[in-house]
Amino acid sequence: MTATVKSDSGWAMETSLDIEWAHAIAPKAKILLVEATTPSGANLLKAVDYAASRRDANAISMSWGGAEFPEELSLDSHFKSVSGAPFFASSGDNGAGASWPASSLLVIGVGGTTITLKNDKTFSKETAWAGSGGGVSAYEKEPAFQNGYSIPKAGGMRAIPDVSYDANPALGFPIIRNGKWYVVGGTSAGGARVGGHCGAWFRNKFK
């Protein structure tokens, strides 16, 4: 008996964005798409566990996240891969505020910036994107690799994001889905590009 998973147009668009831009930055990479059967925390982490069990994974990117919660500390152990591949997670597109799993000490949180171009379309400047998630975790302690940076307002807690990439939909990324072209953006695009050199790719889709 075969189970049928319903598609979700919003997540299908996100998947197209992530896969196409990971491929654009690393056209010869082997990209493995892993989808959770439902948006439940248990099923999302089952998908994480599968990706983490792949010995051929060079990087694992997750374009999902949500509000922090006290129990997240007991779940951070899921972000350890047998191959030693690092985990990347988008910091969210709803403005200031820390989200999990980007806030995990075992995950590289990827935020978003805005690229401004000159009249001739060459680079002018890069600033923080207002839609990018980011802030100080309520539960994760400040990791050793952040100790020396004197991050304002961190107060001994984990600050995110760790890195950022162009995410403002105003410029956006062209993708094709079902034969139609779209221009989209968001921090998941950054996660795809930052981890785009990988030989394996992790993505979850909501039912």
pLDDT tens digits, one per residue of 2-18: 344 456 666 777 778 88
In the chain, what percentage of residues exceed pLDDT 90?
A: 45
Higher pLDDT, 161 or 179: 161
163 bridge partner residues: 110
Q: For 82-110, how does the pLDDT look when each residue is reduced to its tens digit (9 = 90+)?
A: 999 999 999 988 888 999 999 999 999 99
Domain ranges (residues) in the chain: 9-65+81-194
Interval 12-43: pLDDT, tens: 777 788 888 888 878 888 888 888 888 788 89
Answer CATH for 9-65+81-194 from 3.40.50.970, 3.30.70.260, 3.40.50.200, 3.40.1440.10? 3.40.50.200
Number of H helices, E strands in the chain: 4, 11
